[in-house]
Structure 1
Amino acid sequence: MKLLLSNDDGVFAEGLAVLHQHLSQRHDTTVIAPDRNCSGASNALSLHQPLRIQKMKNGFYAVNGTPSDCVHLGLNRFMQEEPQLVVSGINHGANLGDDVIYSGTVAAATEGRYMGLPAIAVSLTNYKGGHFDTAAKVVLDILERLENHPLAPDQILNINVPDVPYEELAGIEVTRQGRRHRAESMVKDTDPYGRDIYWYGPVGSEQDAGPGTDFYAISRGYCSVTPLSVDMTAYQSLDEMQSWLEKKHNND
């Protein structure tokens, strides 16, 4: 299978290198990734600067843009032959619950789906990354299954893998997104010139982490696989909203 591999931790990230090492043994894999760490970039596009792509000594390609830029540039212009699937990761740290809104890792996969290709995002739940090879093996397992069970055209997969040896995984569970409490307060400080500066504080603690959630699966040693819809329409609200909008209009 021909793959486009990207990430948000940057072209020099260990997780990217380990995933490429495993994927390239079975698949034709092209790496196009940001030239720096873009964690938290979400779906941002670089609309106010030109993009440049540079081939690295190891054969990877680095782009001076966001994860979404990398995938868009690769599919739209750079790759001579369109890949069959986009893979994003391995992220250094989990992307669980509300994290997917901000995640550049998930965004790269989403951009692949917007460009018409199936896509998956994969994260290792420990920032230090002791077992990236475990997550890479899980990706290979998932890819093998996808060949016979294609993704729905409006979905991507968000995969989170515990940082344990592959043999110690409890299994794989299909999950829904959990939810976090609101983020903790921002940290106020001063720069060397005495001016106020602010840092984001820690993410919120787990709020909805019960059975069936991605948080719950990870807490029990399972790999979490969550299908995410790229169409964010709240279909269950359409009829009700149409009703109250028509009522207000008629009252006018």
Structure 2
Amino acid sequence: MNILLTNDDGIMAPGINILAQELSKEHEVLVVAPDVERSATGHAITIRTPLWAKEVRVGNKDIGYAINGTPADCVKLGLLAISNVEIDLVISGINRGPNLGTDILYSGTVSGALEGAIMEKPSIAVSSADWNEPRYETAALFIAEFLRKFDIKNIPPFTALNVNVPSLLPEEIKGWKVTRQSKRRFRDYFERRKDPYGNNYYWMFGEVIEDDPGEDSDYAAVRAGYISITPIYAFMTNFDFMERLKEELKE
């Protein structure tokens, strides 16, 4: 397959390079990724400044194109301008840290995959679910094996798979589960500080809230040692409430 690979940790991040090396054993891989880390950029795109695409080499090896934009920019540019072949699959990752629950609304990694879905390409976001000691090799091996077994053409239009891999050795992984997006979220707060000139500035912190413990939730699967695979959709209409709203407004 021809695979477009992006991320939000930047083109030099170990996660994307380990995944590119693993997938290149069986597929043609084009890396188009941000020039620097663009975590938590969500689905932002660049419309008022030009995008630069710089070929990046490490030693004698070409590793891809660095873009001064967001993951969604990278996918657009990769599909519409840089690639000279038909791309079969978009993969975003491997992200450092999990993308669970409401993380997907903020995540540049997930947004890269959703941009691929919007552009009608089968798409996968993949994360190693540990900030401190991510095991990218485990996630890369799983994605390579998953692509051998799963027909990506079965992913419906405008849908992406959000994959979170526990940071364990491959032999420690218990298996995989198809999960739902949980209600895992953060209770945010700001700490006020002063700069040397007496001006206020703020650092945002957050406490994780995990009060959605069903076995079919994404974080419950990861916590239990399973790989979580969650199908997510580019459109966010709440159809249940839409019908109730119609009735209420009619009255």
Tell me which interval the TM-score lies in, with the shorter structure as reference length. Answer: over 0.9
The 1:87/1:99 distance shift into structure 2, 3 A limit, reads same
Match of 2:75 among 71, 82, 87: 71
Q: CA RMSD in A?
A: 1.5
Question: Counterpart amino acid of 2:45?
Answer: L
Query: Among 147, 163, 170, which residue is 1:166 paired with?
Result: 170
Q: Mind listing any 5+ residue stretches in structure 1 that lack a counterpart?
A: 248-252
Structure 1 residues 76, 218: CA separation in 2 closer, same or farther (over 3 Å shift)?
Answer: same
The Cα shift of 1:235 comes to 1.7
Q: Which deviates more, 23-32 or 200-209?
A: 200-209
The one-letter amino acid of 1:18's match is I
Identical aligned pairs, as a percentage?
Answer: 39
CA separation of 1:45 and 1:149: change in aligned 2, threshold 3 A: closer
Contact 2:184 2:219 in 1 (8 A): no
TM-score, structure 2 normalization: 0.94
Match of 1:156 among 148, 160, 169: 160
How far 1:199 moved relative to its partner?
1.4
Q: How far apart, CA to CA, are the structure 2 residues paired with 1:173 and 1:87?
A: 19
2:36 is the counterpart of 1:36: yes
Change (3 A) 1:149 1:69: closer
Task: Give the corresponding residue for 1:122.
Answer: 126
- Determine whether 1:177 maps to 2:181: yes
Alignment of 1:70-219 (within 5 A): 70-147=74-151, 150-219=154-223
Answer yes or no: is the 8 Å Cα contact 1:6–1:67 preserved in 2. Answer: yes
Structure 1 or 2: more strand by fraction: 2
Aligned length: 247
5+ residue gaps, structure 2, are: none
CA shift, 1:200, in A, is: 1.5
* Residue 186 to residue 238, structure 1, CA distance change in 2 (3 Å): same
Q: Is the 8 A contact 1:162 1:218 kept in 2?
A: yes
What's the CA shift for 1:78? 1.7
